[in-house]
């Protein structure tokens, strides 16, 4: 079983090596003629104004939280989807009703989030 994952490990090592070689090569080969202008913040050629670390819109945080809620739903649905066929053949519609209730509850939450304006961006 675990040997199935051996090629993945080899591929990972290969990929990391490729990325490292790329970073090293471009560092070694490229010219090094840096000037003060090159090393400053790029803001379309004008003098940089203010600091980058500023407050950002709360919407981004809201989206992240909504994502976590729904992503957990997705995680629960995966094992359910895999055993669904086997269960309906053996023990009827129980598994279907169960998941309809689960999706139903989450759908109510979805409607609530929509009504409260959590999904709109303006």
Partner 1 sequence: MDLPLNVLIISSLIKIVVVVHILLIGVMGMILAERKVSGWIQDRHGPNRVGPWGILQPIADGIKFLLKEDLVPDHVDKPVYLLAPAIILVPALVTCGVVPFGSSITVSGYEIPLQIADINIGVLYILAITSLGVYGVVLGAWASNNKYSLLGGLRSSAQMISYELTLGLSLIGVLILSSSLSLREIAIQQGSYPWTWNFLIHFPAFLAFTTAAFAETNRLPFDLAEAEQELVGGYHTEYSSMKFAMYFMAEYMHMIVGSAVAVTLFFGGWQFFGLETVGGPFWSGLISVGIFFVKTAFFLFVFIWVRWTLPRFRYDQLMNLGWKFLLPITLASIVVTATVWAFTQSKVLVGILNVVVACIVVAIVSTTLVMTREPEPVEDRGILSFTKESSS
- Asked whether position 91 contacts partner 1 by CB under 8 A, the answer is no
Q: Using CA atoms, how far apart are residues 94 and 52, in angstroms rounded to an integer?
A: 55
| Using rule CB under 8 A, residue 105 touches partner 1 | no
**What's the CA angle centered on 32, arms 26 and 35, to 5 degrees?**
130
Report, in Å, the least distance between residue 63 CB and partner 1: 5
Side-chain-side CA neighbours of 53 within 13 Å: the count stands at 0
Count Cβ atoms below 10 Å from residue 88 Cβ, excluding itself.
Answer: 13
The Cα angle at residue 45 between residues 40 and 50, in degrees rounded to 5: 60
Q: Is residue 63 near partner 1 by the rule CB under 8 A?
A: yes
Among 91, 93, 101, 109, binds partner 1 (CB under 8 A): 93
Q: Kindly state the smallest distance separating residue 53's Cβ from partner 1, in Å.
A: 8
Q: Report in angstroms how near the CB of residue 112 gets to partner 1 at its nearest.
A: 13
The end-to-end CA distance of the chain, in Å, is 51
- Site residues (CB under 8 A) for partner 1? 3-8, 10-12, 14-16, 18-20, 22-23, 25-27, 29-34, 38-44, 52-53, 56, 59-60, 63-64, 66-67, 70-71, 74, 77-78, 81-86, 88, 93, 96, 99-100, 103, 107, 110, 114, 119-122
């Amino acid at each position: 079983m675990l040997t199935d994952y051996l090629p993945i490990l080899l591929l990972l090592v290969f990929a990391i090596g490729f990325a490292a070689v790329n970073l090293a090569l471009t560092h070694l080969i490229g010219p090094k003629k840096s000037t003060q202008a090159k090393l400053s913040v790029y803001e379309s050629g004008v003098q940089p104004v203010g600091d980058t670390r500023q407050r950002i819109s709360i919407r981004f945080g809201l989206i992240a939280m909504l994502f976590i809620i729904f992503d957990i739903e997705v995680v629960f649905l995966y094992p359910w989807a895999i055993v669904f066929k086997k269960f309906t053949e053996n023990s009827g519609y129980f598994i279907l009703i169960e998941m309809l209730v689960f999706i139903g509850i989450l759908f109510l939450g979805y409607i609530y989030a929509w009504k409260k304006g959590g999904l709109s961006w303006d």
